[in-house]
Structure 1
Amino acid sequence: SGNWEDLVKFLQAARKKARESYVETELIFALAKTNRLAELEEFIHGPNNAHIQQVGDGCYDEKMYEAAKLLYNNVSTFGRLASTLVHLGEYQAAVDGARKANSTRTWKEVCFACVDGKEFRLAQMCGLHIVVHADELEELINYYQDRGYFEELITMLEAALGLERAHMGMFTELAILYSKFKPQKMRKHLE
């Protein structure tokens, strides 16, 4: 860490001489490595020529999630921000990031993380964006079933039937789940 502190001082001095993109990019990464997040935040909110997305990816890869969160938020990279927030256990914020990213891959990642964290209300919010894609339904169902969360899965599919983009696959899968776990609901569902 001492070397990174020295590098921060050197890069700050170099930046005074020339405001080069590569100097500013390395300075941001060095600030992240030394956990100087307040300085990092101040720097990225000011005028700079740094490659913030690139540094965010580097921080993410090195599991420096707090720094990555600041950087992705700054450049509005919502998919990576949602992924970062999942690693920080900030599930509600991750759902908000997934909503802004609005990609199936991000919805799935956040949904599965919420299931693993037993945040089923948030998982359902994500899941409703996934079940409308027939080709994604099986993976989602298997994820819940493999972990024994049948009740939560049934609740989500019941909620999904009211969606504008509901499809036959959802009705079929719910019927299968009823037949296995709630036979008393089967008849009403089929009528």
Structure 2
Amino acid sequence: MIVAGNDIAVQSGAGLIEVLVAMVIVAFALFALIDVQTTALRYQKAAHVRTVASQFSADLADRVRANIRGAHEGVYNLPQQSYPTLDEVSPSCFNPNHCTAREIAAKDIHVWRNQLSRAVSGGWGEISGSVTDGFTTRVYFRDVIAQGSGFGLAAESCQPRAANLSIDKDVRCYATIFFP
């Protein structure tokens, strides 16, 4: 109660409640903005990983086209895909002018897989096919937005023997078919 001369003013506190309600609304709006920003960053990261997978598929296609003799001989069609670790020694073929098509293909695949494993989380890949039917490259990676949700690139495009999809539900594949 404020006394000013003979006038008595009574304050009821309604202004304080209005301020509190406004603060609660602003707090909820800020939390919503934080959630939107976090979701946008997650989708941006997923788009980046998929772009990298696309670039690596194109890179291997270019390597096969550069070694067209190896493509015709079938040295890029590996019967049993074995994934090298980063510690493996690269196949020795230092001068491409003195290498066989098989040596160039082995080096291409080795370098491609090692670069892929460094570029994306869970990155690895395989290639199969022929010149007449086309080559299929599959780039495997861990999808940051999938995490078992089923969203993202279809896990059905993965080879069952290459990825244990019952355990790794966040593994996604980017498959590309190309002709040299």
TM interval, shorter chain, is under 0.3
Which structure: greater helix fraction?
1
Larger relative contact order (C-alpha < 8 A, sep ≥ 6)?
A: 2
Q: How does the TM-score come out when normalised to structure 1?
A: 0.21
The structure whose Rg is larger is 2
Structure with a larger share of its residues in strand: 2
Q: What is the TM-score when the length of structure 2 is the normalising length?
A: 0.22
